[in-house]
């Protein structure tokens, strides 16, 4: 996933898109660094903590609360092949979230706590990528919910 985001930085012409992909690439690199460090810590100490594992991506609740202001900041015309990159990113984020969920379900102790934290972080990544893809696609959906429903009057 990190490599996809790093490549996207040079593909996307939009500055906002570049910032999003750079943030996600940096987060994915920090996950790799954390996992490598944790393996060594686990070997040496027999335990590991997730306290250093953080994300700058807000949770879905925060995204939904700020959705109107976020829409204003997204350029009307995004250059580059952003929909293709976002579609690929969404698929990879979903797969990664599922991987960590399976790892969480099959472990215990410190490792389970770390995997649980990864599930939360990767779900945030999935949500922000889905948000961006929904906007770029102009599908009328935001995070799998219809933006407006004329039949129901909302």
pLDDT digits (tens, 9 = 90+) for 96-122: 999 999 999 998 888 888 899 899 999
pTM value is: 0.71
Q: Taking the CA of residue 40 as centre, how many other CA atoms within 13 Å lie in the half-sphere pointing to its CB? A: 5
Distance CA 13, CA 3 (A): 18
Rounded to an integer, the average pLDDT of 84-103 is 91
Rounded to an integer, the average pLDDT of 69-73 is 51
pLDDT of residue 74: 47
CATH number of 2-47+54-144: 1.20.1260
Task: Count the Cβ atoms, other than its own, within 10 Å of residue 132.
Answer: 23
């Amino acid at each position: 996933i990190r490599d996809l985001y790093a490549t996207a930085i040079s593909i996307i012409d939009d500055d906002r898109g570049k910032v999003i992909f750079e943030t996600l690439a940096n987060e994915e690199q920090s996950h790799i660094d954390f996992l490598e460090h944790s393996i060594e810590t686990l070997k040496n100490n027999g335990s590991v903590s997730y306290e250093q594992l953080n994300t700058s991506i807000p949770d879905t609740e925060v995204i939904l609360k700020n959705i109107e202001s976020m829409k204003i900041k997204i350029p009307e015309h995004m250059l580059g092949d952003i929909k293709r990159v976002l579609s690929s990113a969404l698929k990879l984020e979903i797969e990664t979230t599922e991987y960590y969920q399976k790892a969480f379900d099959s472990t215990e102790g410190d490792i389970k706590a770390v995997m649980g934290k990864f599930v939360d972080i990767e779900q945030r990544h999935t949500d922000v990528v889905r948000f961006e893809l929904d906007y770029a696609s102009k599908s009328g959906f935001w995070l799998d919910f219809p933006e407006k429903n004329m039949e129901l009057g909302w």
